[in-house]
Amino acid sequence: MRKTHALWFLAAALVTGSFPLLAEQAPDALPLATVANEPLLVSADMREGTELSGTWHYSIDPYRAGIAGFHGEAPDRGQQRWLDIDVRKTMAEDNRTMFEFDMAHAQTTSLPGSWLAATPEMRHYQGVVWYQRHFDAPAGRKGRYFLRFGAANYATTAYLNGKPLGRHEGGFTPFAFEVTQQLRDGDNQITFAVDSQATATTVPPTVTDWENYGGATRGIRLVHTPATYVDNAMVRLTTDGKLEAEAHLDGAAAAGQSLHLTIAGLKLDVPGKSDAKGNWKATIPAPRSLVRWSPDNPKLYDVTISAGEDVWRDRIGFRTIERKGADILLNGKPIFLRGISMHEEEIGPNPARIITPEAATALLGEIKNGLHGNYVRLSHYPHSEVMTRAADRLGLLVWSEVPVYWMVAWSNPGTLAAARNMLAENILRDRNRASVVIWSVANETPVNDARNAFLRTLIGDVRRLDPSRLVSAALLVKREEDARVPTMTMADPLAADLDILSINTYNGWYTPDRLSDLPASVWHVPADRPLVFSEFGADAKSGFHSPERLQKFSEEFQAEYYRKTLEMADRVPTLRGMSPWILKDFRSPRRQNPDFQMGWNRKGLISETGQRKMAFDVLANYYTMKSKETPK
């Protein structure tokens, strides 16, 4: 297992496992997969591999009997669902044995996808579910093999052929275990447990405003590489017109390896050599023929890094993003972010967080073509890599976020370590996506010393891992009690640490303000940096109309709320973009009005099945108008 890496400043802060790999060990004491001690496999989706999606056996474990015994000791053998045995045969042959599971004969489901949609009984299940399947590995294998999970929500413990591989914490980012040594010729058995249960110290904690989709929600693959391979790489355009490239090789021949960066579309072939640690870096002038990526022209180039037997591939767009005073500059020119927020939930009556390329295109297509947008806030956690690739392809700028949401355990070192790790996993996964322009570290968090220190640590991590993008966080504002018109002040000390100031505002929805009073709202915000309204919105039940009374939850109320809020937005001098809340109605257990919500947050501009509400056109018309203006 690799222990150090050029970028792995996180190592010191994270719980890197130094535990012996004993099968008797309680699974929650297994080594933790983090960017500090496990393979990254950047752009793994472009590598050769065996798809392990499809049919898996599963078994619920609500009392976590496979995680620990009832006195907290290692679990009983009768509960060890990862054992590589034939349960029926073993019990038939030896009447002293007893197992309270039999994965080979347990019910089946299809992965990826949350278990919540698997059967009606699983709809509200939170806790541990075990999954198992078999696959064949050819004899005479060469090179290395990695078991890679796109994401599993929230904590995962994995086993191969009865042996533990490790654990991972965090529901929205990829992780991988090397299995080169553990694979056997012919049949192999993979077992993993996913625990969806949030606690006061997880990220996010228990209280949110979205459905907690438990399970393996993104693809699982056995990835194959040569013995020495490119584990991490990045190529980007700098603001002074250079191409900057970085790679890290892993394996016996990583040191002093000759390599080549090629971008065929630019007729570029840059030779290089890795250093003693397997790292390589180069900066070269960008060719004149380079076409910059933008929402209007989302040009992507095929990029390869060849090193020894390995060829690392990606499709990368080149653009710059900067802040200058109160402006956001894309490729050196001011831009207004015409966006909307989105949860990771596919369109349909019974979503299971299965983001196929088609599902991603359907959602992003509504933004790009329906709303005439150029920007999406992927809230409130890292979305599938399928989504950010689709944004690259379609031409949408992206705000990418970690689920440091509302109230996390600010003073808990384990919570901070988990947040830092998911932030690093997210950044390292998506540093090559031209679409991603903003890393956000938090949403609506209360100002206090412990929180400020926590978020400053995350901001510092972003600046070190990716100094080329902008940093933000959705901040809370103070409202003056006795003012004649809604008057809000940003009084968050964190503002000074961020490139973009972001505010979520719900005046007129959660407050009794008259909609007609919204345009005159007063915003006291620092004048020296760009402001975005990262959220505003109102619920509407698709098909519920109240044209005269403008009752809340009616389409007319939502449309009028948008008109008035957009009028207000037009009067904020430093406003440089917005991502209203939200593209599509999404599942949220905290929303239980039986007439209108029934477990759905109804602030979507489209319903869960994709019906456009009246407010959709209000925003689409506004964005059409904005797209014709030259931004200030």
Residues engaged in binding ligand GCB (CB under 6 A): 209, 380, 443-444, 504, 535, 581, 601, 603
As a whole number of angstroms, the distance between CA 472 and CA 459 comes to 9
Nearest to 570 by CA among 629, 528, 499, 614: 629
> Residue 261 forms beta bridges with which residues?
270, 305
Q: What is the DSSP string of 227-260?
A: SSEEEEEEEEE-TTSEEEEEEEEESTT-TT-EEE
CB contact at 8 A, 352 and 114: yes
User: Given the complex with ligand GCB, which of 312 and 410 has the nearer CB atom?
Assistant: 410
User: Given the complex with ligand GCB, which of 301 and 381 has the nearer CB atom?
Assistant: 381
- Give 201's Cβ-side CA count (13 Å radius): 10
Q: What is the DSSP string of 291-340?
A: PPPBTTB---EEEEEEETTEEEEEEE----EEEETTEEEETTEE--EEEE
Query: From the CB of 106, what's the least distance to ligand GCB, in Å?
Result: 36
Query: From the CB of 520, what's the least distance to ligand GCB, in Å?
Result: 22
User: Given the complex with ligand GCB, which of 83 and 503 has the nearer CB atom?
Assistant: 503
User: Given the complex with ligand GCB, which of 300 and 476 has the nearer CB atom?
Assistant: 476
**Full strand arrangement of the beta sheet holding 186-195:** 108-111, 54-61, 128-137, 186-195, 155-160, 163-169
User: Given the complex with ligand GCB, which of 41 and 203 has the nearer CB atom?
Assistant: 203
User: Given the complex with ligand GCB, which of 59 and 534 has the nearer CB atom?
Assistant: 534
Query: From the CB of 41, what's the least distance to ligand GCB, in Å?
Result: 31
Query: From the CB of 267, what's the least distance to ligand GCB, in Å?
Result: 47
Q: What is the DSSP string of 59-106?
A: EEETT-TTT--TTSSSPPGGG-TT--S-HHHHHHH-TT---S--GGGS
Residue 32: both structure tokens together = 């933790």
User: Given the complex with ligand GCB, which of 223 and 605 has the nearer CB atom?
Assistant: 605
Query: From the CB of 210, what's the least distance to ligand GCB, in Å?
Result: 7
Query: From the CB of 618, what's the least distance to ligand GCB, in Å?
Result: 18
Helix (H) or strand (E) holding 510: none
As a whole number of angstroms, the distance between CA 233 and CA 281 comes to 10
Query: From the CB of 341, what's the least distance to ligand GCB, in Å?
Result: 8
Residue 439: both structure tokens together = 């890393």
> Helix 385-394 vs helix 413-430: angle between axes, to the nearest 10 degrees?
40
User: Given the complex with ligand GCB, which of 293 and 454 has the nearer CB atom?
Assistant: 454
Query: From the CB of 583, what's the least distance to ligand GCB, in Å?
Result: 12
User: Given the complex with ligand GCB, which of 374 and 443 has the nearer CB atom?
Assistant: 443
User: Given the complex with ligand GCB, which of 330 and 500 has the nearer CB atom?
Assistant: 500
> Residue 328 forms beta bridges with which residues?
323
Residue 501: both structure tokens together = 């100031």
> Helix 357-365 vs helix 385-394: angle between axes, to the nearest 10 degrees?
50
As a whole number of angstroms, the distance between CA 338 and CA 336 comes to 6
CB contact at 8 A, 344 and 376: no
User: Given the complex with ligand GCB, which of 410 and 586 has the nearer CB atom?
Assistant: 586
User: Given the complex with ligand GCB, which of 584 and 603 has the nearer CB atom?
Assistant: 603
Query: From the CB of 416, what's the least distance to ligand GCB, in Å?
Result: 21
Nearest to 544 by CA among 522, 526, 559, 566: 559
Measured between alpha carbons, how far is residue 249 from residues 39, 272, 371 in Å?
11, 12, 43
Query: From the CB of 209, what's the least distance to ligand GCB, in Å?
Result: 4
Query: From the CB of 477, what's the least distance to ligand GCB, in Å?
Result: 12
Q: Any idea which residue has 């640590």 for tokens?
A: 457
Query: From the CB of 112, what's the least distance to ligand GCB, in Å?
Result: 24
Residue 572: both structure tokens together = 């904020």
User: Given the complex with ligand GCB, which of 472 and 504 has the nearer CB atom?
Assistant: 504
| Residue 3, burial from CB neighbour count under 10 angstroms (0-12, 13-18, 19+) | exposed
Name the residue with the smallest CB distance to ligand GCB: 209
Query: From the CB of 408, what's the least distance to ligand GCB, in Å?
Result: 14
* Residue 542 CB contacts under 8 Å (≥ 6 apart), including other chains: 555, 585, 602, 606, 607, 611, 613
User: Given the complex with ligand GCB, which of 257 and 440 has the nearer CB atom?
Assistant: 440
User: Given the complex with ligand GCB, which of 430 and 444 has the nearer CB atom?
Assistant: 444
Query: From the CB of 576, what's the least distance to ligand GCB, in Å?
Result: 20
Q: What is the DSSP string of 342-409?
A: E-S--SSSS------HHHHHHHHHIIIIIS--SEEEE-SSPPPHHHHHHHHHHT-EEEEE---BS---
Helix (H) or strand (E) holding 26: none
CB contact at 8 A, 275 and 299: no
Residue 97: both structure tokens together = 């044995």
Query: From the CB of 57, what's the least distance to ligand GCB, in Å?
Result: 35
> How many CB atoms are closer than 10 A to CB 306?
17
